[in-house]
């Protein structure tokens, strides 16, 4: 009997510990009060760095967007750039932009925001010889958005007129100039902070220093980043004093944390949890407009894909409506342009390829494959980054469909979509091998080297709401085969896009981007699948959360109310 008691005691020990711990809830610091002055956002992954000029991941911008301001910003809930730290006007040919800087603004470290600070930032990003343009860092967005570094930069000079007036001199007109200025990557950091921290600026130890509504407090790597309201903020004062951006890697655990009241908002929820949230009065689901496109791409080093009839057969084989309905749910819409609807140049006149497996079969037969297509031939030697031949000309390989190994905001269920497409293609006479190339870095690496040798899934999310950031980024350099775009080449399209980015008149630009969409459609060069609105789940008490199609969402508008 005595022993039994001992054993039972041991068995109950854990439960008792839990009870004991639970009893202590009323003692010590009371986390309950934190919901009033602390907004906790749950996310799946940590920021890479808090120096926005050297990163490309949304999780870094989510944080830097609270701490740093750009010269322009995107208006609430839109892609329209509006003045933030500066107001700029262009000269007649749009090659000189004169900007009046906001006066009386200070960085969080107490130093002045002025012309010198802006010039320091732009020169640091542009000049590879700048003492704070470190060799270990890649200022990717500067290079991508402003044409390159050093002499290749479209911004040839940032002139100081006086302490609060500057001029940007451009080598050629650039239509998305203000939209570029509004991007999170071109937010202005305190030069003093960069000089003080050196290469550690933006790291968990260095943090970052800007003029934004929140100040950096601490970063526990992989766990959480703490921010505190900037009482001297020049704009709308933050309503919540503290912000914690917490990493909860597991999707289900993140949702449970929201249900338990441990966090106030989250992104990246699984479909089942979204359904639960929609029916839970304590929660609310809001969506971010989907400025993104998912697609199925062809690798043009495959001989069969060089025949437009085969590409068209693929296009008619895919039941986009069904795929979107089943795998994107109510948050997705079918895509027929690379540009998402609402963007300048979106071509609504394009008639999407009809879902017609029988037509696919006849197109395949016409192209010389009456018995369907299960194997493909390599058109020319394909080499890897080190110059080794990976695929030899004439080599015959199975027809592969590469699916992404991860979920991305533009692809909520990449593998399932892959399986759906494979089933569609099979019904239309193709026999595809669903192919897992490896994990995400491997997939991206192979795509970059044009080695996804078949059909492959990928997508894109816009950075600044400008069509050049979609179409121009992808195909603007297509005078040569573009390796990372499945070796696609179209000089006419490239010339059109290169012209479109320089035109100052939006109407004229719209015409050219529309025309580009038509060319891409007529060529069946890629199959646009869907646009996905990103759902966010918030506690019902969270008010004032405004979703942004591009750029970081502003937590300063958030407040709590029953």
Binders in 109-148 for another protein, by CB under 8 A? 135-136, 138, 140-141, 143-144
Of the candidate spans 159-167, 240-248, 341-349, 534-542, the one that interacts with another protein by CB under 8 A turns out to be 240-248
239 phi, psi to nearest 5 deg:
-90, -25
Q: Which position among 244, 428, 432, 496 is part of the footprint of another protein (CB under 8 A)?
A: 244
* Mode of pairing for the β-strands spanning 38-43 and 242-247: parallel
Does residue 256 belong to the site contacting another protein (CB under 8 A)?
yes
Of the candidate spans 44-52, 68-76, 304-312, 541-549, the one that interacts with another protein by CB under 8 A turns out to be 44-52
Does residue 156 belong to the site contacting another protein (CB under 8 A)?
no
Q: What span, in angstroms and rounded, lies between the C-alpha atoms of 205 and 248?
A: 21
CA nearest to 83, candidates 72, 74, 70: 72
Does residue 438 belong to the site contacting another protein (CB under 8 A)?
yes
Nearer to another protein, 161 or 253 (CB): 253
The string over 307-317, giving b where at least 16 C-beta atoms fall within 10 Å of a residue's C-beta and e elsewhere, is: bebbbbbbbbb
In whole angstroms, the minimum distance from the beta carbon of 60 to another protein comes to 11
Nearer to another protein, 124 or 246 (CB): 246
CB 334 within 8 A of CB 320: yes
Does residue 6 belong to the site contacting another protein (CB under 8 A)?
yes
Nearer to another protein, 244 or 338 (CB): 244
Of the candidate spans 28-36, 98-106, 175-183, 365-373, the one that interacts with another protein by CB under 8 A turns out to be 28-36
In DSSP terms, 83 is beta-bridged to 72
Nearer to another protein, 326 or 477 (CB): 477
Q: What span, in angstroms and rounded, lies between the C-alpha atoms of 380 and 386?
A: 17
Q: What span, in angstroms and rounded, lies between the C-alpha atoms of 369 and 312?
A: 13
Does residue 10 belong to the site contacting another protein (CB under 8 A)?
yes
Does residue 480 belong to the site contacting another protein (CB under 8 A)?
no
Give residues 326-365 in contact with another protein (rule: CB under 8 A): none
* Mode of pairing for the β-strands spanning 433-435 and 400-402: parallel
Q: 248: how many CB neighbours lie within 10 A of its CB? A: 22
The string over 462-473, giving b where at least 16 C-beta atoms fall within 10 Å of a residue's C-beta and e elsewhere, is: bbbbbbbbbbbb
Does residue 489 belong to the site contacting another protein (CB under 8 A)?
no
CB 261 within 8 A of CB 35: yes
Nearer to another protein, 353 or 410 (CB): 410
Nearer to another protein, 166 or 209 (CB): 209
Does residue 25 belong to the site contacting another protein (CB under 8 A)?
yes
- DSSP letter for 464, please: S
Q: What span, in angstroms and rounded, lies between the C-alpha atoms of 34 and 539?
A: 14
Of the candidate spans 103-111, 117-125, 159-167, 256-264, the one that interacts with another protein by CB under 8 A turns out to be 256-264
In whole angstroms, the minimum distance from the beta carbon of 180 to another protein comes to 15
Give residues 47-76 in contact with another protein (rule: CB under 8 A): 48-49, 56-57
Q: What span, in angstroms and rounded, lies between the C-alpha atoms of 546 and 562?
A: 18
In whole angstroms, the minimum distance from the beta carbon of 432 to another protein comes to 22
Q: Which position among 208, 247, 382, 401 is part of the footprint of another protein (CB under 8 A)?
A: 247
In whole angstroms, the minimum distance from the beta carbon of 140 to another protein comes to 5
Encoded one letter per residue, x for contact with another protein by CB under 8 A and - for no contact, window 271-310 reads ----------------------------------------
CA nearest to 53, candidates 129, 98, 120: 120
DSSP-assigned states of every residue in 252-281: HHHHHHHHTTS-SEEE---HHHHHHHHT-T
Does residue 38 belong to the site contacting another protein (CB under 8 A)?
yes
In whole angstroms, the minimum distance from the beta carbon of 388 to another protein comes to 13
**Helices of type H across 501-559:** 506-523
Q: What span, in angstroms and rounded, lies between the C-alpha atoms of 306 and 309?
A: 9
């Amino acid at each position: 009997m005595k022993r039994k008691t001992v054993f039972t005691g041991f068995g109950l020990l854990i439960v008792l510990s839990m009870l004991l711990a639970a009893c202590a809830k009323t003692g010590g610091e009371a986390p309950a009060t934190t919901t009033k002055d602390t907004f906790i956002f749950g996310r799946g992954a940590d920021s890479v760095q808090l120096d926005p000029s050297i990163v490309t991941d949304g999780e870094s911008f989510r944080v830097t967007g609270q701490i740093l301001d750009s010269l322009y910003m995107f208006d609430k809930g839109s892609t329209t750039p509006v003045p933030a730290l500066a107001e700029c006007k262009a000269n007649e040919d749009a090659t000189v932009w004169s900007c009046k800087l906001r006066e009386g603004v200070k960085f969080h470290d107490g130093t002045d925001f002025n012309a010198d600070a802006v010039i320091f930032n732009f020169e640091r990003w542009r000049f590879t010889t700048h003492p704070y343009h470190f060799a270990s860092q890649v200022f990717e967005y500067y290079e991508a958005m402003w044409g390159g570094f050093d002499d290749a930069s479209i911004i040839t000079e940032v002139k100081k007129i006086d302490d609060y007036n500057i001029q940007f001199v451009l080598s050629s007109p650039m239509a998305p100039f203000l939209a570029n200025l509004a991007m999170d990557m071109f937010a202005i950091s305190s030069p003093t902070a960069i000089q003080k921290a050196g290469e550690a600026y933006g790291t968990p130890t260095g943090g970052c220093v800007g003029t934004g509504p929140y100040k950096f407090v601490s970063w526990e790597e992989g766990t959480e980043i703490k921010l505190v309201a900037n009482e001297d903020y020049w704009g709308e004062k933050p309503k919540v004093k503290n912000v914690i951006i917490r990493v909860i890697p597991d999707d289900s655990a993140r949702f449970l944390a929201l249900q338990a009241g441990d966090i106030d908002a989250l992104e990246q929820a699984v479909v089942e949890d979204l359904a639960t949230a929609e029916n839970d009065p304590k929660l609310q689901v809001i969506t971010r407009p989907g400025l993104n496109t998912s697609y199925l791409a062809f690798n043009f080093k495959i001989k069969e894909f060089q025949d437009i009839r085969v590409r068209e057969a693929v296009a008619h084989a895919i039941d986009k409506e069904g795929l979107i309905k089943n795998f994107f749910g109510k948050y997705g819409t079918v895509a027929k342009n690379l540009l998402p609807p609402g963007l300048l140049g979106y071509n609504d006149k394009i008639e999407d390829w009809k879902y017609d497996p029988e037509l696919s079969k006849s197109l395949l037969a016409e192209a010389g494959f009456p018995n369907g297509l299960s194997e493909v031939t390599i058109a020319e030697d394909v080499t890897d980054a080190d110059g080794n031949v990976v695929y030899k000309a004439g080599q015959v390989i199975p027809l592969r469909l590469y699916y992404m190994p991860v979920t991305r905001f533009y692809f909520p269920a990449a593998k399932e979509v892959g399986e759906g497409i494979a089933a569609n293609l099979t019904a239309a006479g193709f026999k595809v091998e669903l192919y897992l190339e490896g994990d995400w870095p491997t997939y991206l690496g192979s795509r970059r080297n044009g080695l996804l040798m078949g059909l492959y899934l990928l997508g894109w999310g816009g950075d600044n709401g400008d069509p050049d950031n979609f179409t121009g980024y992808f195909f603007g350099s297509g005078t040569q085969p573009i390796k990372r775009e499945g070796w696609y080449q179209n000089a006419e399209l490239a010339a059109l896009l290169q012209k479109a980015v320089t035109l100052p008149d939006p109407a004229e630009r719209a015409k050219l981007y529309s025309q580009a969409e038509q060319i891409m459609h007529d060529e069946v060069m890629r199959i646009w699948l869907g646009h996905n609105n990103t759902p966010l789940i918030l506690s019902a008490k969270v008010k004032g959360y405004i979703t942004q199609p591009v750029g970081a969402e502003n937590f300063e508008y958030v407040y709590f109310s029953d």
